[in-house]
Amino acid sequence: MLQLGMTNGIKVYLGEKEGMNKHLTIWGKSGSGKSVAMQIITSRIIENGGTVLAFDLHGTLSEKNIYAPLRDKFAGATNNVEAYTEGIPANLFAPAIFEDGGVERPEDTVSAFCDIIEKTVSLGVRQRAALQRAAKYVLEENLYAQKGLSALEDGLKLQKTDVAANVADKLQFLLGRNIFKDADSDMLIEHGKLNIIRLSKFDDKTQALVSELLLAHIWRRVLSGEIKDLYIMIDEFQNISLKKGSALEKFLVEGRKYGIGLILATQALGINFTNSQQKLLLQSGIQLYFKPAENEIRDVAKILGGTEIAAYSMLLSRLDIGECVALGPIQIGETGTLVSSSPTKLKITV
């Protein structure tokens, strides 16, 4: 069982019965305690033997931003992936393996690779065809193992068309720096570890795009059964695409089926998400509401309890740092009853 926090001196756990998913979203204004809560919960997942893949965006998981009481624990349990200096070990060209042991055909691997790119970079029909040609070349010549993703640039240049040149331009953020490289999959995700993909040295846009690509790659590996029982943690996830068909959307909607839980944190629901995205985020698993900004208190109170907006507004505005209101299936006490719909005030402590 995964402990979230305490209420009135009693331990509160994530309720995992009744087929509820394991997604956790964390909301609250700056300084309210979101990142610390996320880190405390992450450390418990690792202690329970679980595996976490975390995205270090904007330095959220840099040494100085790790909550001091957790630093030693994290240091001993971390697999660092230094994307900027060393590239991300991910075999984007590995064929999927089917349940019966059969191996995906090369043309399908090429298509799947192009799909991953297209989840992040939109391409026209002719551009897609050019990318497909280049990817086929990389696969046939086994160039990814030798040169990483920059081999794709060769495959585009060889075509000597404006269309292919445009695709190379669009993908320059990836190809120029060779962000992805061939490697065994356990270099990316070590079982039982906190695997941190360090992206903070890239500019904001590249951080988001690379995250989206990696998530799409991981989703493909999840579908083919190679990755399961994983928590994916993204602090300040607001710049990662949640549009229809995006990897993050897939994880939110279907991740539970495959044992994938998301832990996502950001400040506010209102500004960054469309209505349907808000709905998706609110339907998924458990939400922890830390103290909202003044102008969001009423909206959050509405989410908590239709008719008791005034009472919940008061509760929210009186939250201290590290306190939150949990909404969703939680279990109070080790053998407690499942409290599924009533919001419960929690304190998050190590």
Ligand X SMILES: Nc1ncnc2c1ncn2[C@@H]1O[C@H](COP(=O)(O)OP(=O)(O)OP(=O)(O)O)[C@@H](O)[C@H]1O
The residues with which 244 forms a beta bridge, in sequence order, are none
Q: Which is nearer to Mg ion, 35 or 150 (CB)?
A: 35
Which of positions 14-73 make contact with Mg ion (CB under 5 A)? 34-35
Q: Answer yes or no whether residue 284 interacts with ligand X by CB under 6 A.
A: no
Residue positions counted in the chain: 350
- Give dist(CA 32, CA 152) in Å, integer: 44
Q: Give the interface segment with ligand X, choosing from 28-36, 95-103, 169-177, 237-245 (CB under 6 A).
A: 28-36
Q: Give the interface segment with ligand X, choosing from 24-32, 110-118, 195-203, 297-305 (CB under 6 A).
A: 24-32
Ramachandran region, residue 220 (left: φ > 0; alpha: ψ -120 to 50; beta: rest): alpha
Q: Which of 258, 186, 198 is nearest to 54 (CA)?
A: 198
The residue from 25, 35, 284, 331 that contacts ligand X (CB under 6 A) is: 35
Positions of E strands within the chain: 3-7, 10-14, 24-27, 52-56, 78-82, 88-89, 180-181, 194-198, 230-235, 260-266, 286-289, 323-327, 330-332, 338-339, 344-347
Q: Which is nearer to ligand X, 100 or 294 (CB)?
A: 294
Interaction partner, residue 62 (Mg ion, ligand X, none; CB < 5-8 Å by kind)? none
Burial 130-143 (b: 16+ CB within 10 A, else e): bbbbbbbbbbeeeb
Q: Which is nearer to ligand X, 35 or 150 (CB)?
A: 35
Q: Which is nearer to Mg ion, 34 or 345 (CB)?
A: 34
Q: Give the interface segment with ligand X, choosing from 11-19, 29-37, 47-55, 139-147 (CB under 6 A).
A: 29-37
Q: Which amino acid is at 134?
A: A
Q: Answer yes or no whether residue 32 interacts with ligand X by CB under 6 A.
A: yes
- Give dist(CA 188, CA 167) in Å, integer: 27
Q: Answer yes or no whether residue 50 interacts with ligand X by CB under 6 A.
A: no
Interaction partner, residue 30 (ligand X, Mg ion, none; CB < 5-8 Å by kind)? ligand X
The residue from 33, 50, 292, 343 that contacts ligand X (CB under 6 A) is: 33
State how far the alpha carbon of 343 is from the alpha carbons of 31, 148, 250, 308, in Å: 22, 49, 27, 11
The residue from 50, 87, 322, 343 that contacts ligand X (CB under 6 A) is: 322
Q: Answer yes or no whether residue 31 interacts with ligand X by CB under 6 A.
A: yes
Interaction partner, residue 87 (ligand X, Mg ion, none; CB < 5-8 Å by kind)? none
| Cβ–Cβ under 8 Å, residues 87 and 181 | yes
Interaction partner, residue 275 (Mg ion, ligand X, none; CB < 5-8 Å by kind)? none
- Residue nearest Mg ion by beta-carbon distance: 35
The residues with which 302 forms a beta bridge, in sequence order, are none
Q: Which is nearer to Mg ion, 182 or 236 (CB)?
A: 236
Size of the site for ligand X (CB under 6 A): 13
| Contact set with ligand X (CB under 6 A) | 28, 30-36, 267, 321-322, 348-349
| Contact set with Mg ion (CB under 5 A) | 34-35
